[in-house]
Protein backbone atom coordinates (compact mmCIF):
# COMPACT_ATOMS: atom_id res chain seq x y z
CA UNK A 1 0.00 0.00 0.00
CA UNK A 2 1.11 3.52 -0.77
CA UNK A 3 1.84 5.46 2.33
CA UNK A 4 1.91 9.21 2.65
CA UNK A 5 3.28 10.20 6.03
CA UNK A 6 3.02 13.63 7.57
CA UNK A 7 5.46 14.23 10.38
CA UNK A 8 2.99 15.63 12.90
CA UNK A 9 -0.73 15.13 13.53
CA UNK A 10 -0.96 18.19 15.78
CA UNK A 11 1.32 21.20 15.98
CA UNK A 12 1.13 24.41 17.99
CA UNK A 13 3.33 27.35 17.08
CA UNK A 14 3.49 31.07 17.79
CA UNK A 15 2.99 33.97 15.41
CA UNK A 16 6.15 34.97 13.62
CA UNK A 17 7.75 31.53 13.89
CA UNK A 18 9.06 29.73 10.83
CA UNK A 19 7.15 26.46 10.61
CA UNK A 20 8.06 23.33 8.67
CA UNK A 21 5.51 20.66 7.75
CA UNK A 22 7.07 17.52 6.38
CA UNK A 23 5.55 14.93 4.07
CA UNK A 24 7.09 11.68 2.84
CA UNK A 25 5.67 9.15 0.37
CA UNK A 26 7.05 5.69 -0.23
CA UNK A 27 5.84 4.81 -3.73
CA UNK A 28 8.13 6.84 -5.96
CA UNK A 29 5.30 9.18 -6.99
CA UNK A 30 6.31 12.13 -9.14
CA UNK A 31 3.50 14.45 -8.08
CA UNK A 32 3.06 15.80 -4.60
CA UNK A 33 0.56 18.32 -3.28
CA UNK A 34 -0.06 20.48 -0.25
CA UNK A 35 -3.66 21.41 0.55
CA UNK A 36 -5.25 23.43 3.26
CA UNK A 37 -8.63 22.31 4.58
CA UNK A 38 -10.96 24.75 6.32
CA UNK A 39 -14.62 24.26 7.31
CA UNK A 40 -16.96 25.61 4.68
CA UNK A 41 -14.14 26.12 2.19
CA UNK A 42 -13.24 22.55 1.26
CA UNK A 43 -9.66 21.88 0.19
CA UNK A 44 -7.56 24.54 -1.42
CA UNK A 45 -4.28 23.86 -3.18
CA UNK A 46 -1.27 25.68 -1.78
CA UNK A 47 1.52 24.23 -3.89
CA UNK A 48 2.05 21.38 -6.33
CA UNK A 49 5.32 19.68 -7.28
CA UNK A 50 5.69 17.46 -10.34
CA UNK A 51 9.34 16.54 -9.88
CA UNK A 52 12.37 17.15 -7.71
CA UNK A 53 13.01 20.89 -7.40
CA UNK A 54 9.95 21.63 -9.56
CA UNK A 55 6.95 23.42 -8.09
CA UNK A 56 3.92 25.39 -9.09
CA UNK A 57 1.75 27.74 -7.09
CA UNK A 58 -1.76 26.70 -6.31
CA UNK A 59 -4.70 28.86 -5.28
CA UNK A 60 -3.33 30.25 -2.03
CA UNK A 61 0.49 30.30 -2.04
CA UNK A 62 0.86 33.59 -0.18
CA UNK A 63 2.73 33.16 3.08
CA UNK A 64 3.94 29.69 2.14
CA UNK A 65 6.90 28.18 0.35
CA UNK A 66 7.84 24.59 -0.46
CA UNK A 67 10.90 22.47 -0.88
CA UNK A 68 11.40 19.27 -2.81
CA UNK A 69 15.02 18.23 -2.71
CA UNK A 70 14.27 14.51 -2.89
CA UNK A 71 11.49 12.76 -4.75
CA UNK A 72 9.93 11.24 -1.68
CA UNK A 73 9.83 14.36 0.47
CA UNK A 74 7.79 17.54 0.04
CA UNK A 75 8.04 20.19 2.72
CA UNK A 76 5.68 23.08 3.34
CA UNK A 77 7.19 26.14 4.99
CA UNK A 78 5.34 28.94 6.71
CA UNK A 79 7.87 31.73 6.51
CA UNK A 80 6.40 33.79 9.36
CA UNK A 81 3.37 32.07 10.85
CA UNK A 82 0.21 34.10 11.36
CA UNK A 83 -3.03 33.23 13.14
CA UNK A 84 -4.93 33.02 9.84
CA UNK A 85 -2.76 30.06 8.93
CA UNK A 86 -4.34 27.98 11.68
CA UNK A 87 -5.81 25.09 9.71
CA UNK A 88 -5.66 21.43 8.74
CA UNK A 89 -2.91 20.77 6.21
CA UNK A 90 -3.07 17.75 3.92
CA UNK A 91 -0.27 16.32 1.84
CA UNK A 92 -1.01 14.07 -1.14
CA UNK A 93 0.79 12.29 -3.95
CA UNK A 94 0.12 10.73 -7.34
CA UNK A 95 1.86 9.18 -10.32
CA UNK A 96 2.83 11.30 -13.32
CA UNK A 97 -0.13 10.11 -15.37
CA UNK A 98 -2.56 11.05 -12.64
CA UNK A 99 -2.70 14.76 -12.00
CA UNK A 100 -5.23 14.49 -9.22
CA UNK A 101 -4.16 13.31 -5.76
CA UNK A 102 -4.41 9.57 -5.33
CA UNK A 103 -3.16 9.16 -1.80
CA UNK A 104 -3.39 11.50 1.14
CA UNK A 105 -1.61 11.75 4.45
CA UNK A 106 -3.42 11.86 7.78
CA UNK A 107 -3.20 15.62 7.94
CA UNK A 108 -1.50 18.05 10.32
CA UNK A 109 -3.73 20.21 12.47
CA UNK A 110 -1.72 23.38 12.93
CA UNK A 111 -2.59 26.01 15.50
CA UNK A 112 -0.87 29.38 15.45
CA UNK A 113 -1.19 31.27 18.73
CA UNK B 1 -13.44 30.05 -13.48
CA UNK B 2 -14.74 26.65 -12.54
CA UNK B 3 -16.70 26.19 -9.35
CA UNK B 4 -18.02 23.15 -7.50
CA UNK B 5 -21.06 23.39 -5.23
CA UNK B 6 -22.23 20.91 -2.62
CA UNK B 7 -25.46 22.32 -1.27
CA UNK B 8 -25.93 19.76 1.52
CA UNK B 9 -23.55 20.45 4.42
CA UNK B 10 -24.86 17.44 6.35
CA UNK B 11 -26.92 14.36 5.60
CA UNK B 12 -28.04 11.31 7.49
CA UNK B 13 -29.01 7.81 6.39
CA UNK B 14 -30.12 4.65 8.12
CA UNK B 15 -27.87 1.64 7.89
CA UNK B 16 -28.71 -0.52 4.83
CA UNK B 17 -30.60 2.34 3.17
CA UNK B 18 -29.60 4.33 0.08
CA UNK B 19 -28.48 7.94 0.13
CA UNK B 20 -27.64 10.41 -2.64
CA UNK B 21 -25.21 13.28 -2.21
CA UNK B 22 -25.57 16.21 -4.58
CA UNK B 23 -22.91 18.10 -6.47
CA UNK B 24 -23.17 20.71 -9.19
CA UNK B 25 -20.39 22.44 -11.03
CA UNK B 26 -19.87 25.29 -13.41
CA UNK B 27 -17.48 25.19 -16.34
CA UNK B 28 -17.22 26.32 -19.92
CA UNK B 29 -15.02 23.37 -20.84
CA UNK B 30 -16.28 20.26 -22.57
CA UNK B 31 -13.61 17.84 -21.44
CA UNK B 32 -12.96 17.32 -17.76
CA UNK B 33 -12.97 14.83 -14.91
CA UNK B 34 -15.15 14.63 -11.84
CA UNK B 35 -14.37 12.87 -8.58
CA UNK B 36 -15.82 11.97 -5.23
CA UNK B 37 -13.44 11.75 -2.29
CA UNK B 38 -14.23 10.32 1.14
CA UNK B 39 -12.62 11.57 4.35
CA UNK B 40 -13.49 9.39 7.36
CA UNK B 41 -13.11 10.91 10.83
CA UNK B 42 -9.42 11.12 11.74
CA UNK B 43 -8.46 9.00 8.76
CA UNK B 44 -6.92 9.54 5.38
CA UNK B 45 -8.90 10.91 2.48
CA UNK B 46 -9.42 8.41 -0.29
CA UNK B 47 -10.66 8.59 -3.86
CA UNK B 48 -14.04 6.88 -4.12
CA UNK B 49 -15.01 7.23 -7.75
CA UNK B 50 -14.05 9.04 -10.93
CA UNK B 51 -16.00 10.06 -14.03
CA UNK B 52 -14.67 11.22 -17.39
CA UNK B 53 -16.92 13.84 -18.98
CA UNK B 54 -16.68 12.25 -22.43
CA UNK B 55 -18.16 9.01 -21.13
CA UNK B 56 -21.93 8.77 -21.12
CA UNK B 57 -21.96 5.72 -18.89
CA UNK B 58 -22.12 6.47 -15.20
CA UNK B 59 -19.20 5.19 -13.15
CA UNK B 60 -19.77 2.57 -10.46
CA UNK B 61 -17.56 1.13 -7.74
CA UNK B 62 -19.27 -1.58 -5.75
CA UNK B 63 -21.94 0.17 -3.63
CA UNK B 64 -20.99 3.60 -4.95
CA UNK B 65 -22.36 4.96 -8.19
CA UNK B 66 -22.75 8.36 -9.78
CA UNK B 67 -25.49 10.06 -11.73
CA UNK B 68 -23.65 12.26 -14.22
CA UNK B 69 -25.83 14.76 -16.04
CA UNK B 70 -23.50 16.73 -18.29
CA UNK B 71 -26.04 19.17 -19.66
CA UNK B 72 -27.28 19.98 -16.17
CA UNK B 73 -23.71 20.03 -14.81
CA UNK B 74 -24.72 17.69 -12.04
CA UNK B 75 -22.69 14.87 -10.51
CA UNK B 76 -24.41 13.11 -7.62
CA UNK B 77 -23.07 10.18 -5.60
CA UNK B 78 -25.36 7.32 -4.64
CA UNK B 79 -24.38 5.02 -1.80
CA UNK B 80 -26.41 1.82 -1.68
CA UNK B 81 -26.78 -0.46 1.34
CA UNK B 82 -25.17 2.15 3.59
CA UNK B 83 -22.77 0.86 6.21
CA UNK B 84 -21.47 2.43 9.41
CA UNK B 85 -18.07 2.72 7.77
CA UNK B 86 -19.54 5.03 5.14
CA UNK B 87 -19.83 7.80 7.72
CA UNK B 88 -17.45 10.49 6.53
CA UNK B 89 -17.07 13.86 4.89
CA UNK B 90 -17.55 13.52 1.14
CA UNK B 91 -16.00 15.97 -1.28
CA UNK B 92 -16.91 16.44 -4.91
CA UNK B 93 -14.08 17.68 -7.13
CA UNK B 94 -13.51 18.84 -10.71
CA UNK B 95 -10.40 18.83 -12.86
CA UNK B 96 -9.87 20.16 -16.36
CA UNK B 97 -8.67 17.65 -18.95
CA UNK B 98 -6.34 20.21 -20.49
CA UNK B 99 -2.72 19.56 -19.66
CA UNK B 100 -0.69 22.27 -18.02
CA UNK B 101 0.56 22.33 -14.46
CA UNK B 102 -1.67 24.15 -12.04
CA UNK B 103 -4.45 24.38 -14.61
CA UNK B 104 -4.97 20.76 -13.77
CA UNK B 105 -5.52 21.45 -10.11
CA UNK B 106 -8.53 19.88 -8.48
CA UNK B 107 -11.32 22.22 -7.52
CA UNK B 108 -13.11 20.90 -4.46
CA UNK B 109 -16.59 21.50 -3.17
CA UNK B 110 -17.12 22.38 0.48
CA UNK B 111 -18.07 18.85 1.47
CA UNK B 112 -21.08 16.95 2.79
CA UNK B 113 -20.86 15.30 6.20
CA UNK B 114 -22.68 11.97 6.07
CA UNK B 115 -23.88 10.30 9.25
CA UNK B 116 -24.99 6.67 9.21
CA UNK B 117 -27.53 5.71 11.87
CA UNK B 118 -27.52 2.11 13.14
Query: Could B111 and A4 be called an inter-chain contact, meaning their C-beta atoms sit closer than 8 Å?
Result: no
CA distance B19 to B77: 8
pLDDT score recorded for residue A14: 97
Cβ–Cβ below 8 Å for A45 and B101 = no
pLDDT tens digit sequence for A1-35? 668 999 999 999 999 999 999 999 998 999 999 99
Neighbours of B2 (CB within 10 A): 14
pLDDT band at residue B102 under the 50/70/90 scheme: low
Question: How large is the greatest C-alpha to C-alpha distance in chain A, in angstroms?
Answer: 40
Residue B110 — pLDDT band, cuts 50, 70, 90? very high
- B82-98 confidence digits (pLDDT tens): 999 999 999 999 998 87
Measured in angstroms, the CA of B80 and the nearest CA of chain A are apart by 24
Chain B residues whose CB is inside 8 A of the A58 CB are 102, 105
Q: How confident is the model at residue A102 (pLDDT cuts 50, 70, 90)?
A: confident
Strands in chain A per DSSP E = 4-6, 10-13, 19-21, 23-25, 31-38, 42-51, 54-57, 64-70, 73-78, 87-94, 103-104, 108-112
Residues of B in contact with A56 (CB under 8 A): 101-102
* Residue A97 in contact with partner chain B when CB distance is under 8 A: no
Q: Whole-number mean pLDDT of chain A?
A: 92
Show the beta-strand stretches assigned E in B53-111. Answer: 60-61, 64-69, 74-79, 88-96, 107-108
Pairing of the two strands B88-96 and B112-117: antiparallel
Handedness of CA B70, B11, B38, A101 (dihedral sign): positive
Beta pairing partners, A33:
A48, A92
pLDDT in tens, A78-89: 999 999 999 999
Q: pLDDT (tens digit, 9 = 90+) per residue, B32-41?
A: 999 999 999 8
Give the closest of B33, B99, B105 to A58, CB-based: B105
Contact flag A100-B44 (C-beta cutoff 8 Å): no
- Mutation target to probe the A interface, by most A beta carbons within 10 A, among B35, B47, B51, B103 is B47
Amino acid sequence: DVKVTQSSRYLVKRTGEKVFLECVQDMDHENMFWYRQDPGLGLRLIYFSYDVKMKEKGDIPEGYSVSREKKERFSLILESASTNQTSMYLCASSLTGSLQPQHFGDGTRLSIL
Amino acid sequence: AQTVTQSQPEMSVQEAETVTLSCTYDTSESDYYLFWYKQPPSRQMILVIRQEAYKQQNATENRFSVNFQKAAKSFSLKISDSQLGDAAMYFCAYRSARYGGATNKLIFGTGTLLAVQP
